[in-house]
Amino acid sequence: MRTGRSALTAALTGALALVAFTAPPAQAADTGVTVTNMVVNKGKPIIVGVSEEKNPSVGFRMTWPSGHSSNDITAFPYLYHDTTAAKARDKGGIYTGFVTYYDDTPRAADVEGELYIDPPWTLDSNNDATTWKIAVNVRLWTPDDKLKAEENLTGLGTVQVKRAARATVNASPEPVTKNKTLTVTGRLTRADWVKHAYTGYGDKLAKLQFRKAGTSTYTTVKTVRANSTGSLKTTVKATTDGYWRWTFGETSTTGGATAAGDHVDVR
């Protein structure tokens, strides 16, 4: 079992995160700390809804100058976009939930932890669905807990933050007579970080898929474009019992979604 020293053990929310992350003020100076092998959310996009908190994982390798130990250092990763790293440190970023240092030499440690996202606090524009830059705020402390040096390490990579999406489906009539027309409707929605609700994902292409009862594989039957409000509608011939669903993949700003299959009994 790995053991390490936690630099921040509780998730920080809202204004509290900003206060804890920015104080005390200090003049930028070279700390001599280096960060490598940065990985956020296991290299995958971070997909965020409208209310549920997200805790993307973060991991990196940290080294420091001789004469110091990890006890003298705080290293808090954060994300920013459309601003500078220094300004984002104070406002407009995605901040650390916690990090833990796992020292394996006198001058190096693996660092693992989580970022913290609370959509109503963290994301206030749908333009936040974009590429975010990764930085680490590093502070070097004296033995009597006085701030010796501070810097924001940048150029550590990027990560996509995307809006969560949903898909619904309804096939009717149920049951349906064999070889008669089945109408399949549904709706595509995605997180709106301004309205704090899921709103229609209009003009999006979605695949209508079918899985025959007793099997495990869905097959695409046709592709349909949603209207301006995200609604979908098409007709198919009912030939056998099975499950119908709508599905679509990720885009540069939005995660993919797949509806739970709607079973239709064909008689």
Q: What digits encode the pLDDT tens for the residues 211-220?
A: 999 999 999 9
pLDDT band at 205 (very low <50, low <70, confident <90, very high): very high
If one looks up domain 5-162 in CATH, what number appears?
A: 2.60.40
pLDDT band at 7 (very low <50, low <70, confident <90, very high): low
pTM: 0.89
For the chain, the domains span 5-162, 165-264
182-192 confidence digits (pLDDT tens)? 999 999 999 99
Using an 8 Å Cβ cutoff, are 136 and 35 in contact? yes
pLDDT band at 15 (very low <50, low <70, confident <90, very high): very low
Can you give the pLDDT at residue 195?
97
165-264 homologous superfamily? SOR catalytic domain (2.60.40.730)
171-181 confidence digits (pLDDT tens)? 999 999 999 99
| 165-264 has the same fold as 5-162 | yes
pLDDT band at 66 (very low <50, low <70, confident <90, very high): very high
Pairwise pLDDT comparison (90 vs 68), residue with the higher score:
68
Handedness of CA 184, 190, 194, 197 (dihedral sign): positive
- Report the C-alpha gap between 24 and 243 in whole angstroms: 58
Q: Which residues contact 145 (CB under 8 A, 6 or more apart)?
A: none
b/e string for 7-29 if b means 16 or more Cβ within 10 A?
Answer: bbeebbeeeebbeebeeeeeeee
- Report the C-alpha gap between 267 and 265 in whole angstroms: 6
